Amino acid sequence: MSKIMAVAVRECVETVKSKLFLISIFLTPALVIAIAVAGPKMMKNLMDSPQPPKKLTVLDMTASLADEIRRGFDSYNQAHPTRLIEADIRGPEAAADLDTLKNEVHEGRLVGCLVVAAGVVENSDNCQFYVLTDRLVNMDCISAAKRILEDTVTDRRLHLYQVPADLFEKVNRRVVIDQVDVAAPAQDDVTRMVRVMAPFGLMFLMMLGLFGTSQGMLTSVIEEKNSRVIELLLASLTPFQLMTGKILGLAAIGLTVITIWLTAGFGALVWSGLLPIMPSSLKPVLVMYFVCFFMLGYLLYSSVYAAIGAACNTLKEAQSLLMPIMLCMILPTTTWMYIVQSPDGLYARLLSYFPLTAPLVTPVRLAAKGGLPPLEVVLVLLGLTVTAIAVMWAASRIFRIGILMYGKPPGIRELFRWVKG
């Protein structure tokens, strides 16, 4: 045990002495906060920045809506001087030019060609808008052209059927429903956004912690293996003692980093005045669960990374073996909104019982729902604990053989033989 602790202390001290580690501790939360604060402002500035005028052609097959459509585009350009649309309004006589206009759209000289059907007012005939759907930069222009045509046709129908405009506005008024959260002291968009994003913040923090510390394990093992330092260490240690010591040392580092980040996050919430509007589900017991899942997840992932590092000679060789592990980390972060909306759904429950995704998903379910049945939490923790122990045992057998092997990296079948042998 003393040798394991000596390795753990050495791993911890060597990591802390690194300037890059000290920078990453404070730089990562600073960047996250900066992105959260400055991101919306930067997006607004980008949206308000001038862009080149967009050109499109409108073929008015009704021969009667051209003036109204032109006035609609003029009004839009006055309201959006940085998003100008140059609309070329043509009559039915230009129908023969449709193929030429399609080619111009395909070549990028036009954003689109909008064909207004002859019976769009009386018979609600379908109109056609010829565009390139993969040009995302033209989405605003296309949406604006559709709205202008819809408003123009609506006004003409009101005039045709002699419906007073003020009567139509009264009938067509939207029903405004104010959503009131009985647990929130404030009721505004910022409050709702913070309370929705809080579970994702926990998942993102968990992923950063697991990935950062586990990646440190992989790098440490490969570097010491290539520098032959590992051979000197194994002269007085068993492979299991060395691997366990490294895992415990980096676990202390990871726990320290998570503690600093949680403290910094709490301080930021207090400083910004957002703490009172946080979801009531973010209780101190959730922090305890978060730490438990982080430690078990770290033991699981770091054991896998240690085994892969021992089996490979370079980081490049390790990437192919790491891909399935990385996908397990990425999957919950790409579907977090579905998990938050349906914490008791089959998908969320399956990810909670799958060991590689349980550390990321279960705390989010706890935060989203305000708690889970105690039996379910116990089963998830028990399954994660048993899996972590089994993976550590298998990783130690791979580590024992692979740490002194050089040359061609082993395949999946050979790794299984090492575990059985």
Q: With contact defined as beta carbons under 8 Å apart, do 82 and 46 qualify?
A: no
d(CA 96, CA 157): 28
Residue given tokens 């009386």 in the structure block = 122
Dmax over CA atoms of the chain, in Å, equals 96
Helices 239-272 + 2-16 axis angle, to 10: 50
> Which H or E run includes 140?
helix 139-160
Exposed/middle/buried for residue 297 (C-beta within 10 Å: 0-12, 13-18, 19+): buried
Q: Does residue 141 contact residue 111 with C-beta atoms inside 8 Å?
A: yes
* Residue ranges per structural domain of the chain: 2-33+187-420, 54-171
Q: Give the model's pLDDT for residue 117.
A: 92
Tell me which residue has tokens 């073996």. 321
The counts of H helices and E strands in the chain are 16, 4
C-alpha to C-alpha distance for 385 and 355, rounded to whole angstroms: 9
Tokens representing 15?
A: 């990591």
List, for residues 381-414, the tens digit of each pLDDT value: 999 999 988 988 888 888 877 777 776 777 778 8
β-sheet bridge partners, residue 116: 60
Name 8's Cβ contacts closer than 8 Å, sequence gap at least 6: 245, 246, 248, 249, 252
Structure tokens at 112: 């689109």
Which of 345, 214, 372, 213 has its CA nearest to residue 289?
A: 372
Reference 308, options 295, 300, 317; nearest CA is 317
pLDDT tens-digit series, residues 331-343: 888 888 888 888 8
289's tokens? 């669960």
Asked whether the beta carbons of 195 and 184 are under 8 A apart, the reply is: yes
pTM above 0.75, yes or no: no
* CA 61 – CA 91 distance, rounded (Å): 6
Amino acid 69: pLDDT: 93
User: How many Cβ atoms sit within 10 Å of the Cβ of residue 52?
Assistant: 7
State whether residue 371 is helix, strand or coil. Answer: coil
- At 50, list the tokens: 């001038």
Are 160 and 88 spatial neighbours (Cβ–Cβ below 8 Å)?
A: no
CATH assignment of 54-171?
A: 3.40.190
Dist. CA 68–CA 74, nearest whole Å:
10
pLDDT tens for the chain, residues 1 to 421:
777 788 777 777 777 777 766 776 777 667 766 666 665 566 666 666 778 899 999 999 998 999 999 999 999 999 988 889 999 999 999 888 999 999 999 998 999 999 999 999 988 889 999 998 877 778 888 999 999 999 999 999 988 888 887 888 888 888 877 666 665 555 555 555 656 666 777 777 788 778 877 777 788 788 777 777 777 777 777 777 777 888 888 888 888 877 777 777 777 666 666 555 555 555 677 778 888 888 888 888 888 888 888 887 777 777 777 888 888 888 888 888 888 888 888 888 899 999 888 888 888 888 777 678 888 888 999 999 999 889 888 888 888 777 777 767 777 788 788 887 6
